[in-house]
Every structure is written in C-alpha cells, then in structure tokens.
C-alpha cells in the first residue's frame, strides 16, 4: 500500500499544470502574552527595579520567569524583548517618579512581591528518608590498614549523629578482606574503636570484623552458583576485558552449575587454581550501559596470610560482595557514602535483586577538599613513617585523628564541622580555618591565658611599680589567677623592645624601661611579658614542616594535655617537652 500510494502521488504531480493560481501567503501568527502573563512580567520588572534601586536587570527577570514557569520556556525568544521593555520602563519610572512610586504600584497590584522571604538556616542534618517507622541501622566500615584520618571522620560523624538523634544503631565494621593491596594492621583493630568512641561520644552498638565471618560469604557465594546467577571465570584479566568492552559473554558464563561448583572447590583447594587463575563473577548483563556492572567479580584467590585468621581461607570476597552480604545480614537500613561509590550501589542492587532482597536506602555526599591537608593516603603515610619522614601516626603534620587530637582539636568541633557541611553532593573546598572556628568555640572558655616570649629580650624596669601581684587567667571565666614576682626586670619579645610600650596589666614604660605610669595613659602598644619564667619551645606544624620556636614560658603548673591561649600568639597544648601549636 505504501508503494502504491507513492505511485499515485507521483502520477498526480505529473498531471498538474505547470502553473498554479497565485494565492496570498497565510499570515504567521506570533505568540503573544495574555493579560495575566503581561501583568506577571510587568510586576516582576517593577520588583527587580525596586530591589536594585532603579537599575533592574532584564536577565534576572527572565531567569526568574523561566525558572518558575516551565510552560513559558518554549516562548523564550518572544518573552525576552517584552521583559527588556518592561524593565526599561520600570527603571525609567524609578528615575522620574522615585522608588516609592514603584512600591505604591506593587502594594496595590502585587503586594506578595513586597514580602521579604526570610531564609531560615538549617540546623543539624537533613531528615533521614524512608524510615517508615523504623529505627535506623547505620554502619561505618573502614579498612583497618591504619588508624582513622580526618577523611574518615565524616562518615563516622554523620552516621553516628543519625543513630544518636533517631535512637538507632551504629555498626563499626572492619572491611578487612583485602590482604594484598591494603593488608590490615593489627594495631588498628584496637585504635579504631577507641577513636570512634572519642569522636562520636559513645561506643558503637556493634563491632563486626569481616575476616572472622568468612563462612557467611562462602555460603552466599555457593548459593549464587547453585542458583545459577554466579559462575567461576577462568578467563585472563585481559581476555575478560575484551568481552566487557565488546559487550559479549565469556565462554565460562554458560558452564553448567556442577562445573561451576567444581571450579569453586578448585579455587578453595591449595593444589587447585592459583591466584589470578579464576574469579567468582556475578551474572548481570554484558550489554549493560555501564561497563563496571557487566558480570562484576565477587571473590578471588589470595594466598598471603591474614594477620587475624592466618591461612585458613584461600578465596576472599571483594569489597562490593562482602559489604553487600554484610549489610543484609546486619539489617542495615541506610547507607551514607561518597558519590564516587555510586557504581558500588549499582552492583550491589543487582546482587540484591538476584537474592530477592531489598537494598538499603542510599544517600550520597560529594568530595570535601581541605587544601591545608594536601593529598594523603593511609598507605603513603605508613611508608613515610617507616622511612622516618614522620615520627608516628600522631605526628602533628598528619591528618590522622590521633594527630588532630594531639593538636587539641576537640571531638565536638569535628562533629560541628561535618554536621554544618551536611550531605550535599556538590564537591566543595573548605579551609581548615572553618574547623578551627568551631574548635575555638569549644576550647576558649576553658583555656587559661599564658605568656610565651619569642626572641626574649630582657628589660630592667626603673621606677615605681608593683613587684608582686596577680593577673587574671581568663577574662570571662573564673580561674585561679596568675601570680608574678619581679626582681629587676621582665622578658619581652625583641620586636617590642626599644620603644614606649605598656606591659599588659602592669605599667607604661618608655624605650629605656623607665616606668611612666601605672595606669594606661595613652594608646601605646600593649605587649605581653614574663617575669622569671623558664626556657621552653613552641612547635608549629605548617604543611610538611615542623617549626620550633625557642622562648621563655611563664611559670605554670599545667599538666600535659592542657590547652592554653598564648598571649598574642594563639592556642597551644602543653606537651612534656614544651608547647604544640593548636591554631590561631
């Protein structure tokens, strides 16, 4: 029928005369706004002109219209000149009749546009979705190949805060099934729970160690094979990559269930397959758009000993498989993770579909970059410590939790920092000063003031002044006062010497140390000072450098671990051999 229709149409065209009667062209009807839209444009133009004191911008009005009225976007080329004229008219009226005239029009015709919408700042974390009356079960799952770092603290804080606020549970899970690339460190099994409790303010409700639960992963691996949605693949890595790229199935995929079970037994037999000879794969679909999801690997052979369980197991689950099984077994309701792990979610969702399970609610966050920390990895830090570049995991130059704690960063400060950033998927860069501002709030009220004199310069005081007395340890908090006793003079910083100064809370002196007044008599600089004192040092971590500043420290009996505020310098923490800078 289609071919016959074309033939008849061609014949009709051939029988037409070579000329046709001339007809007037049909008029093209351009889109025109109705009265409601015209009023909307005019009112928004007036509002914009009022907002910007008679200098309204057509672009912002157009953006607002297009953003709020999806039905008008198709008419954008017609709306733009109408808006431009309306904004020009509004600006002209503002210039000729004043802004009050525009306010009067809007009050009469569109009073809602004069209402100032008050933006309320979100406090705390956003509501956890799809709880459906359940108490949330969340998990934090580090690899124990080293102690926790600043980066880990985000996952700990967010998951713990939800568990605390919603009377849920926090699981601390050690994902320690990789003994090759990231071998576990035995000390981490002890340090991580302590750091978790320090940071969160409560211990985890459950501690799960994956390497001690291998029976479960093997059980579900065998179930995959028995049910036909898993297979043992003996293709080389390069050969399977070709299949993945070409979206074709490898020859192993169609093996019988019994063949796969025999191969699985061979993977677990020391005399059978060797590392790299075979892997367990999850059947998905080799034509999936995302190559990472095509028959992804679930387990492989590792023959190096595990520090906790030795050589008991040969076949170890890969993280996406182990984590998925454990989340199901532990009843995890919500997974909060970085958006870089979206492929892990997609893989695990396919696995859950095979087993007939419901996948947990998943929430993502974007990357947070703190410039001052640069780029650190646990493996690299371990190598650098072994090479002597850093003293230990608590070296103040490192971004580990033990280093931050040593430097006087309070756990509540880290919690406030991460809760304030929330769960945005945007990648953001944050200066370390943001964390320091939270820390200042946490420590200032309990940090006694103390004087530390850098480049100490002696000044002999001449004249009448109180040789003994007391100085407040804190301006806003009741603390024991700081007593002083002056024999002949005091220590000041070299940069403060040789000019008229006021010795804080003592007296005004001239450039030669002559006392001019006990009370402050002018606006000369106020400087800190030390009478007596003892030699000490202040260590400052700056990037990859440790700077040691020698000086004279005011006599005190503060124990190691006390955070003090050094006059005119910043906060520091008392260590056994001096002071360590916390931050400004």
The three-state secondary structure class of 456 is strand
Mean pLDDT, to the nearest integer, of 146-169?
Answer: 96
CATH number at residue 413: 1.10.1160.10
Domain for residue 244, yes or no? Answer: no
List the structure tokens of 201: 């303010």
- Alpha carbon distance 540, 560 (integer Å): 17
Q: What is the pLDDT of residues 428-474, one digit of tens each?
A: 888 899 999 999 999 999 999 999 999 999 999 999 999 999 999 99
Place 91 in a pLDDT band, splitting at 50, 70 and 90. Answer: very high
Confidence at residue 67, expressed as pLDDT on a 0 to 100 scale: 80
| Phi and psi based region of residue 318 (left: phi greater than 0; alpha: psi -120 to 50; beta: remaining) | beta
Confidence at residue 188, expressed as pLDDT on a 0 to 100 scale: 96
Domain boundary (76, 92, 114) is at: 114
Same domain for 464 and 570? yes
Confidence at residue 122, expressed as pLDDT on a 0 to 100 scale: 57
DSSP state of 310: B
Domain for residue 252, yes or no? Answer: no
Q: What is the pLDDT of residues 220-266, one digit of tens each?
A: 999 999 999 999 999 999 999 999 999 999 999 999 999 999 999 99
Same domain for 432 and 462? no
Confidence at residue 64, expressed as pLDDT on a 0 to 100 scale: 86
pLDDT at residue 89 greater than cutoff 60: yes
| CB burial readout 495-504, b (16+ within 10 A) else e | ebbeeebbbb
DSSP one-letter string for 469-523: EEE-S-SSS--PPEEEE-SSEEEEEGGG-SS-EEETTTEEE-TTSBEEESS--S-
Same domain for 386 and 477? no
Q: What is the pLDDT of residues 256-286, one digit of tens each?
A: 999 999 999 999 999 999 999 999 999 999 9
Same domain for 440 and 452? no
Phi and psi (nearest 5°) for 147?
-70, 170
Place 377 in a pLDDT band, splitting at 50, 70 and 90. Answer: confident
DSSP one-letter string for 559-579: PTT-EEEETTTEEEEEETTEE
List the structure tokens of 13: 């065209």
Q: What is the pLDDT of residues 488-523, one digit of tens each?
A: 899 999 999 999 999 999 999 999 999 999 999 999
pLDDT at residue 116 greater than cutoff 70: no
Same domain for 436 and 473? no
Domain boundary (444, 459, 476) is at: 444
Confidence at residue 571, expressed as pLDDT on a 0 to 100 scale: 97
- Alpha carbon distance 87, 42 (integer Å): 8
Report CA torsion sign: 394, 399, 404, 410: negative
Q: Does an H or E element contain 92, and which?
A: helix 76-97
Same domain for 406 and 535? no
Strands 169-174 and 206-209, how do they pair?
parallel
Please give the tally of structural domains in the chain.
3
Domain for residue 123, yes or no? Answer: no
Same domain for 423 and 472? no
Place 113 in a pLDDT band, splitting at 50, 70 and 90. Answer: confident
Q: Does an H or E element contain 298, and which?
A: strand 297-301
Same domain for 427 and 475? no
Residues 6+ apart with CB under 8 A from 332: 137, 138, 139, 171, 360
Report CA torsion sign: 561, 566, 572, 578: negative
Same domain for 419 and 542? no
Domain for residue 71, yes or no? Answer: yes
Summary mean pLDDT of the chain: 91
Mean pLDDT, to the nearest integer, of 100-110?
Answer: 90
Domain boundary (87, 114, 141) is at: 114
CATH number at residue 475: 2.40.240.100
Query: 413 is in which domain, residue-wise?
Result: 372-444
- Alpha carbon distance 24, 471 (integer Å): 100
Domain for residue 101, yes or no? Answer: yes
Q: What is the pLDDT of residues 182-208, one digit of tens each?
A: 999 999 999 999 999 999 999 999 999
Same domain for 486 and 561? yes
- Alpha carbon distance 110, 104 (integer Å): 10
Q: Does an H or E element contain 553, and which?
A: strand 545-553
Same domain for 555 and 581? yes
Confidence at residue 63, expressed as pLDDT on a 0 to 100 scale: 83
Confidence at residue 2, expressed as pLDDT on a 0 to 100 scale: 43
Q: What is the pLDDT of residues 548-566, one digit of tens each?
A: 999 999 999 999 999 999 9
From 460, 441, 438, 449, select the one nearest 513 (Cα to Cα): 460
pLDDT at residue 18 greater than cutoff 60: no
Confidence at residue 15, expressed as pLDDT on a 0 to 100 scale: 45
Domain for residue 459, yes or no? Answer: yes
122 near 130, Cβ under 8 Å? no
| Phi and psi based region of residue 467 (left: phi greater than 0; alpha: psi -120 to 50; beta: remaining) | alpha
DSSP one-letter string for 149-182: BHHHHHHHHHHHHHHHHTT-EEEEEE----SSSS
- Alpha carbon distance 474, 582 (integer Å): 18
Q: What is the pLDDT of residues 208-219, one digit of tens each?
A: 999 999 999 999
Domain for residue 97, yes or no? Answer: yes
Same domain for 407 and 457? no
Domain for residue 539, yes or no? Answer: yes
Confidence at residue 570, expressed as pLDDT on a 0 to 100 scale: 96
Confidence at residue 409, expressed as pLDDT on a 0 to 100 scale: 98
């Amino acid at each position: 029928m289609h071919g016959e229709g074309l033939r008849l149409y061609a014949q009709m065209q051939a029988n037409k005369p070579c000329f046709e009667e001339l007809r007037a062209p049909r008029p093209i009807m351009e889109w025109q706004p109705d009265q409601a839209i015209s009023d909307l444009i005019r009112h928004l133009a007036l509002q914009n002109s009022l907002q910007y004191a008679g200098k309204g911008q057509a672009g912002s009005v157009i953006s607002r219209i297009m953003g709020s009225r999806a039905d008008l976007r198709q008419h954008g080329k017609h709306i733009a000149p109408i808006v431009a004229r309306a904004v020009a008219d509004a600006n002209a009226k503002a210039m000729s009749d004043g802004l009050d005239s525009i306010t009067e029009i809007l009050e009469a015709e569109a009073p809602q546009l004069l209402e100032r919408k008050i933006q309320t700042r979100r406090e705390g974390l956003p509501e956890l979705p799809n709880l459906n009356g359940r108490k949330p079960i969340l998990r934090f799952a580090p690899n124990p190949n080293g102690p926790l770092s600043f980066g880990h603290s985000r996952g700990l804080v967010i998951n713990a805060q939800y568990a605390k606020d919603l009377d849920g549970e926090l699981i601390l899970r050690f994902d320690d099934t990789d003994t090759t690339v990231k071998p576990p460190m035995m000390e981490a099994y002890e340090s991580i729970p302590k750091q978790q409790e320090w940071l969160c303010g409560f211990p985890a409700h459950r501690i799960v160690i994956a390497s001690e639960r291998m029976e479960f992963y093997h059980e579900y691996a065998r179930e995959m094979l028995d049910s036909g949605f898993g297979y043992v693949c003996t293709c080389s890595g390069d050969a399977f990559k070709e299949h993945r790229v070409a979206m074709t199935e490898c020859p192993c995929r169609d093996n019988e269930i019994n063949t796969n079970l025999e191969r699985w037994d061979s993977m677990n037999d020391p005399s059978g397959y060797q590392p790299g000879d075979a892997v367990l794969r999850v059947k998905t679909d080799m034509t999936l758009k995302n190559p990472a999801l095509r028959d992804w690997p679930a387990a492989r052979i590792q023959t190096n000993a595990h520090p906790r369980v030795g050589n008991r197991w040969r076949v170890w689950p890969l993280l996406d498989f182990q984590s998925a099984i454990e989340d199901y077994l532990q009843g995890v309701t919500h997974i909060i993770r970085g958006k870089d792990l979206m492929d892990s979610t997609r893989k695990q969702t396919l696995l859950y579909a095979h087993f007939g399970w419901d996948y947990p609610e998943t929430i993502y966050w974007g990357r947070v970059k703190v410039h001052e920390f640069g780029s650190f990895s646990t493996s690299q830090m371990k190598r650098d410590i072994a090479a002597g570049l850093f003293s230990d995991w608590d070296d103040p130059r490192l971004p580990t939790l033990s280093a931050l704690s040593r430097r006087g960063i309070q756990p509540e400060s880290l919690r406030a920092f991460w809760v304030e950033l929330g769960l945005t998927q945007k990648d953001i860069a944050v200066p370390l000063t943001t964390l320091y501002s939270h820390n200042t709030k946490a420590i200032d009220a309990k940090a006694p003031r103390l004087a530390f004199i850098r480049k100490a310069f002696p000044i002999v005081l001449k004249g009448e002044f109180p040789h003994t007395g007391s100085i407040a340890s804190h301006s806003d908090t009741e603390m024991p006062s700081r007593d002083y006793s002056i024999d002949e003079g005091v220590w000041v910083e070299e940069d403060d010497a040789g000019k008229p100064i006021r010795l804080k809370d003592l007296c005004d002196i001239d450039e030669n140390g002559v006392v001019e007044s006990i009370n402050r008599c002018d606006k000369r600089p106020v400087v800190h000072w030390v009478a007596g004192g003892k030699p000490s040092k202040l260590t400052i971590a700056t990037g990859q450098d440790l700077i040691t500043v020698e000086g004279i420290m005011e006599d005190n009996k503060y124990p190691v671990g006390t955070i003090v505020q050094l006059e005119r310098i910043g906060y520091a923490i008392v260590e056994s051999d001096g002071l360590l800078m916390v931050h400004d």
